[in-house]
Amino acid sequence: MAFDEHLGDRIRDELTAQRVDYREMKMMGGLCFMVDDKMCVGVVGDQLMARIDPDTYQDALTKEGASEMNFTGRPMKGYVFINPEGTDMDNDLAYWVELCVEFNPYAKASKK
């Protein structure tokens, strides 16, 4: 499955604007932006994949375009998908990327 390259470019621009050091990885058929060697934000298909504080998860699901991230048959708490209408405006994308970056220092790294 291809991913929305334009959304990837917009995420790059936003991470750069927020002065965040990151690296990119192709993952889950999409593109993932790693911060401090932890999954932070990404693109799957035409959706933004956001890793956010689990304590703000339920509130995040009420935002326009947001839905549970579900790869395995059950929702992954702390991860949300945001449809294009939820990231169409630059300030909306900035909001989601900022949530991801703010949570990143508290996120657990994957086992290597």
Q: How many CA atoms lie within 13 A of 107 on its CB side?
A: 25
Asked, for residue 32, whether it belongs to a domain, the answer is: yes
Q: Does residue 36 register a pLDDT over 90?
A: yes
The per-residue pLDDT for range 44-73, each reduced to its tens digit, is 999 999 999 999 999 999 999 999 998 778
Asked, for residue 13, whether it belongs to a domain, the answer is: yes
Structure token digits, residue 23: 């690296």
How many domains are there within the chain?
1
Asked, for residue 112, whether it belongs to a domain, the answer is: no
Spatial contact of 11 and 22, defined as CB atoms under 8 Å apart: no
Q: Does residue 112 register a pLDDT over 70?
A: no
**pLDDT the model gives residue 1:** 56
Query: Would the pTM of this model clear 0.85, i.e. be above it?
Result: yes
Specify the higher pLDDT residue, 108 or 33.
33
Give the domain CATH number at 61: 3.90.1150.30
- Give the domain range for residue 37: 5-106
